[in-house]
Amino acid sequence: MLASCSSSENNESTEPSGYSPVIIELEIPQLFKDKLLAPLIPTNNPQTNEGVRLGKKLFFDPILSSDKSISCASCHDPQKSFTDNNQVSKGVNGAVGVRNSMPLYNLAWNYDERFAWDGKELSLERQVFEPVTNHREMNNVWKEVASRLQNDSEYPQLFREAFGNVSIDSILIVKAIAQFERTLISGNSKFDKFLRGEVTLSTEEENGFNAFMDETRGDCFHCHGSNNNPLWTDNKFHNNGLDATFTDLGLGAVTGDPADNGKFKTPSLRNLTFTSPYMHDGRFSTLEEVINHYSEGLKNSPTISPLMKKVSQGGVQMTEKDKADIKAFLLTLTDTDFVKNPDFQLP
């Protein structure tokens, strides 16, 4: 998964520990190199072999939660493309969340660095801060987390190797987890292989892609990308016509701008096989329900996206064949190698 650079030339100094973590590069699919700008790696948190290893251990360790019952992986299971398949996630003591767990992959290409369904987190590191203290999730306090790790038999040495002789604190914890999360790259689906000339699409899959790209049929590409955007999301926020009135303001609750009410982040279409249910509130259990929403289920509201051009008709009114074929195309974005990658599994 990861390729090391020369440690003698690229290491960050971690004095006074005397140990120099090895800078590593993300293993970026050639298609990403050809179609996308370089991934975002913070200058104050470079990817290192030791940092990623530490971040992976923390990601799977329930020591972060108040009662040591759940870890990051509880809501972001690698086998489920780092989701949990619940309508909304559950925290410690049976606490129930308010949103569907977002999948985690290709996060280093989120150039606006707005994370979460409502865009409230302005970097990957800042996103990691939130679930540890959220009372609906891990319900812990950072001082307690740092104390547990400092008194653990393994973590002090792992932090020294990753960051030098420094006291363990929340900043180093979120840096390590963010480093691990940036390694989660999905780019080897059937459609990726098709673009590389390795496989062919079925007639149904090819028609589904054409309908996906056709403004008079599926009209999906404005928000979800194309063969020229292997992320399959624009990483923007849209009101996609789920509700006429809002019980969850989404981005609007973050910005305070009524024009943002009802807007949520466009999720990637990769790995939908593993990530049901769908939408920010998990209201749709199947892809058929999602496709029917855009075909004839749109609801108008003052902030409806202008891309929902046929909202007055309820949607784009797809034929049953186009619906079935769009689903067939969407399933070509399934990357089984990603969910089985041993680098991403429980240590």
Distance, CA of 131 to CA of 143 (rounded, Å): 15
Please say if the pLDDT value at position 52 is more than 70: yes
Distance, CA of 162 to CA of 189 (rounded, Å): 33
Tokens, residue 62: 């329930």
CB 43 within 8 A of CB 70: no
What's 273's DSSP letter?
Answer: G
Tell me whether strands 2-4 and 24-26 are parallel, antiparallel or unpaired.
antiparallel
Counting other chains too, the contacts that 115-120 makes at CB distance below 8 Å and 24 or more residues apart are 116/265, 117/250, 117/264, 117/265, 117/280, 118/237, 118/249, 118/250, 118/251, 118/253, 118/254, 118/264, 118/265, 118/280, 119/237, 119/251, 119/254, 119/265, 120/254
Model confidence pLDDT, tens digit, residues 156-200 = 999 999 999 789 999 999 999 999 999 999 999 999 999 999 999
- Any idea of the CA torsion for 99, 105, 109, 113, to the nearest 10 degrees? 30
First to last CA, the chain: 15
pTM as predicted: 0.92
- Which of 18-27, 71-80, 290-299 has the weakest average pLDDT? 18-27
CB 279 within 8 A of CB 294: no
Distance, CA of 164 to CA of 177 (rounded, Å): 17
Average pLDDT of every residue of the chain:
93
Strand partners, 263: 250
Please say if the pLDDT value at position 7 is more than 60: no
Q: Measuring CA to CA, which residue among 207, 250, 269, 233 is closest to residue 111?
A: 233
Task: Please give the pLDDT value at position 18.
Answer: 66
Q: Measuring CA to CA, which residue among 108, 101, 85, 110 is closest to residue 39?
A: 108
Residue 6: pLDDT band with limits 50, 70, 90: very low
